[in-house]
Amino acid sequence: MIDGYDEEDFAYEGKVRRVYRRGAGPGVLVLHELPGIHPTVVRFANWVVDAGFTVLIPELVGKAGKPISGAYVLRSFARVCIGREFRLLAANRASPITQWLRALCRHTHEEIGGPGVGAVGMCITGNFVLAMMLESSLIAPVLSQPSLPLPLGAKRKASLHLSAEELAAVKRRTEQGCPVLGLRFSEDYFCPRERFDRLGRELGDQFEHIELDSKTSLPGSAPWGPHSVLTEDFNNGTGHPTVQARDRVIEFLRQRLAK
């Protein structure tokens, strides 16, 4: 359980997952990173609630509310590696789980109304938001350190975890006026610069990207450097770049979802 959140199950094509919900206003899906819905994911979700949105956090892996540990990360990673709904190395096709997430977007919009819904993906779920744009109700897509496919080899570093047909559909959405917001740290291995360069080439000025200097990370960041812009590597100091990035995400959601 997560304090302050209601729990509900959402089913699509026989697959049922728990969804945690809180707030009022336009709907925003917060897609957690590995290892699960850990405390700093909830902290970010609460900021979005406080900004005037209904937040839904689907539980895709892990145990909601459980703190991060090395063993927990490894267990969750092993689970997504063998799961049929995640394709961690797929350069040119989306993970099947994005179909369920598109259905959740559609259901949320039908229930709450308004111009549409938003989605914030993080790490392994970051690129899911691109595939979710095939659902027309998603009008505020945010990619925070999108890490799929895992950047093994030059080809995967610049890949978007989309088929050619899916990428064409995403480009049509942006050409019709649906911008995409992306966030990453400058030296993030798991979300390489080549990926954002590719997004810039494909989406043009409809891709707004924020790149934070990795040197601004918290002292406790992992040995390989900062990765999680809105959660584990967030620094709440006044005027800190991660605060500015968080505020831009909320402003973007307001701009796109205001009635």
**In this predicted model, what pLDDT tens digit does every residue of 151-191 receive, in sequence order?**
999 999 999 999 999 999 999 999 999 999 999 999 999 99
Average pLDDT over residues 205-232: 84
Q: Is 80 exceeded by the pLDDT of residue 93?
A: yes
CATH of domain 6-257: 3.40.50.1820
- Which has more pLDDT, 88 or 29? 29
Query: Which amino acid, residue 21?
Result: R
Task: Provide the pLDDT confidence category of residue 84 given band limits of 50, 70 and 90.
Answer: confident
Cα(219)–Cα(171) distance, integer angstroms: 39
Identify the pLDDT of residue 104.
Answer: 98
In angstroms, rounded to a whole number, what is the distance separating the alpha carbons of residues 74 and 72? 5
pLDDT digit string, tens, across residues 104-158 = 999 999 999 999 999 999 999 999 999 999 999 999 999 999 999 999 999 999 9
β-strand 54-58 against 15-23: which pairing, if any? antiparallel
In a 10 Å sphere around its CB, with 0-12 CB exposed, 13-18 middle and 19+ buried, how is residue 229 labelled? buried
Q: Which long-range contacts (CB under 8 A, 24 or more apart) does 250-255 make?
A: 250/47, 250/48, 250/51, 252/140, 252/142, 252/179, 252/181, 252/208, 253/26, 253/28, 253/48, 253/51, 253/53, 253/118, 253/140, 253/142, 254/51, 254/52
What mean pLDDT comes out for the span 183-205?
A: 96
Domain boundaries, the chain: 6-257
Q: What is the pLDDT of residue 66?
A: 94
Give me the amino acid identity at 78: A
Strand order from edge to edge, sheet including 138-144 = 6-12, 15-23, 54-58, 27-31, 117-122, 138-144, 180-185, 207-212
